[in-house]
Structure 1
Amino acid sequence: MQLAPGVHRLGDDRVAFLLVVVDDGITLVDAGLPGHRRDLRRALRELGRSEADVRGIVLTHGDSDHIGFAEALRTERGVPVYVHTADARRTRGDDAPPPTARPAWRLPAALAFVATAIAKGGRTRRVGEVREVVDGDVLPLPGSPVVVGMPGHSPGSIAVHLPAHRVVAVGDALTTRHVLTGHAHPQLAPFTDDLAAAEASLDRLAAIDADVVVPGHGPAWLGTPRDLVAAVRA
């Protein structure tokens, strides 16, 4: 799905990641599940590009359904993987996510998410080496992604702002469709480490000037971050 010129969402409403395509190369925002690499290759072929054009992967955080094929591209293609300093240990597998409150769930939605995990699954490999970033960094990658710190879902959760494309990817800082209940409205994501911090981070998202907001789970929001934050808080 093309969200803006040069910005494509791959995956689906259950698990999604971004492909940012410019003349001098490609940036990925997140890496889905391991099996999503097939979707990546298919999309690249359709665009007349290949994995050799990928210059870097920017992770919104270090959870397994966002780092899927990142280590494969790093080791096989030399693609650098960027993640916030506060999530570096989680991404490498040095630290496990802390326990969180058990989220609500409904059987049809939960089964659909499990089906996606199986279909796009395989062994998720932790990322052996990462390049650490912090809030405010402008990365030397196609699209010049800007790091916006969004702690809460995890300590190092970030939004990735693509100013030239007027798109911002938010990972699990929020969701527009709960993966376990199917409730289709803007809300904080399940399995969040610190709900109070995640809610406070929404102020940072609301200040971003963009026309499209892309969560890691749920449909893209075709509107401003400010309006999306208002919908979460309504």
Structure 2
Amino acid sequence: MELTPQLRRIGNDIVAAHLVIAGDGITVIDAGLPGHWRDLQRELAAIGRTTADIRGVVLTHGDSDHIGFAERLRRERGVPVFVHAADAARARGEESTKPAWGGLRIGPLLRFLGYSVRKGGMRTQHVQQVREIADGQVLDLPGAPEIIGLPGHSPGSIAIHVPAVAAVFVGDGLTTGHVLTGSQGPQPAPFTDDPATATASLSRLEGLDVDWVVPGHGAPWRGGVPELLAAYRAVAEA
């Protein structure tokens, strides 16, 4: 789905990945679920590109619903996969956590689980080799993505600021569509390791001049960062 000619979305409000498109190639932000591979092919075909144009995958964190087709791209196409050093072991499948689920409603939960199963969530392959990145780096990839440390959801969660497309990708630093409750609007994401740290980390987004704030779950936000953070804090502090 096209958000702008240079920014496209794979998946939906339940689980999404994104493409940053530039003259020198494509940067993939997160890799969704394994079944999103076909969606990736369709999206590339729609713009006259192929996987040969992908220069790198940048993961907002190492959880299974964000690494879906990353290993396939790395193994079959030689595409490097970048992840914060603190989440490298998680992306490789060497460690995991079991954060509390919190509140839920049966309908949204079943939609989330059903979509995950249909998109191959039970057969996710961990990334065998990753390139570790750190807060403050600007990667030599299309769009020149800037890394902003956003710990809390996981130790190595990051935001990815891409000025070329006026967007910041926040992964599970927050959500605009809660997959367990169905609640809409900016709010804390489920399955978060350290909720207090996750909320505090969002202050690092203040001052960003972007048109899009793009979570891994929920609709992209176009209302500006100050408005997003105000809406988030109203929910988090309630």
TM-score (norm 2): 0.96
Number of equivalenced pairs? 233
Report what 1:52 is aligned to: 52
Report what 2:169 is aligned to: 169
What CA distance in whole angstroms lies between the structure 1 residues aligned with 2:117 and 2:59? 22
Is the 2:151–2:158 Cα contact (8 Å) retained in structure 1? yes
Report how far residue 213 of structure 1 moved: 0.5
Report what 1:190 is aligned to: 190
**Structure 2: where are the runs of 5+ without partners?**
none
What CA distance in whole angstroms lies between the structure 1 residues aligned with 2:180 and 2:224? 26
What CA distance in whole angstroms lies between the structure 2 residues aligned with 1:87 and 1:165? 26
Q: Please list the CA deviations of residues 16-40 of structure 1 after superposition, one character each: whole Å capped at 9, or x if unmatched.
A: 1111111110000000000001000
Report what 1:77 is aligned to: 77
Q: Note if 1:202 corresponds to 2:214.
A: no
Report how far residue 147 of structure 1 moved: 0.4
What CA distance in whole angstroms lies between the structure 2 residues aligned with 1:36 and 1:164? 25
TM-score (norm 1): 0.97
Report what 1:158 is aligned to: 158
What CA distance in whole angstroms lies between the structure 2 residues aligned with 1:178 and 1:157? 18
What CA distance in whole angstroms lies between the structure 2 residues aligned with 1:219 and 1:158? 19
Report how far residue 89 of structure 1 moved: 0.7
Report how far residue 94 of structure 1 moved: 1.2
Report how far residue 226 of structure 1 moved: 2.0
Report what 1:5 is aligned to: 5
Indicate the SS of the match to 2:147. strand
Report how far residue 227 of structure 1 moved: 1.4
What CA distance in whole angstroms lies between the structure 1 residues aligned with 2:130 and 2:14? 26
Q: Note if 1:229 corresponds to 2:217.
A: no
Q: Note if 1:120 corresponds to 2:122.
A: no
What CA distance in whole angstroms lies between the structure 1 residues aligned with 2:4 and 2:25? 17
Report how far residue 120 of structure 1 moved: 0.7
How well do the aligned residues superpose, as a CA RMSD in angstroms?
A: 0.9
Identity, in percent, stands at 59
Is the 2:20–2:165 Cα contact (8 Å) retained in structure 1? no
**Structure 1: where are the runs of 5+ without partners?**
none
Report what 1:104 is aligned to: 103
* Letter of the 2:118 counterpart: A
Indicate the SS of the match to 1:226. helix
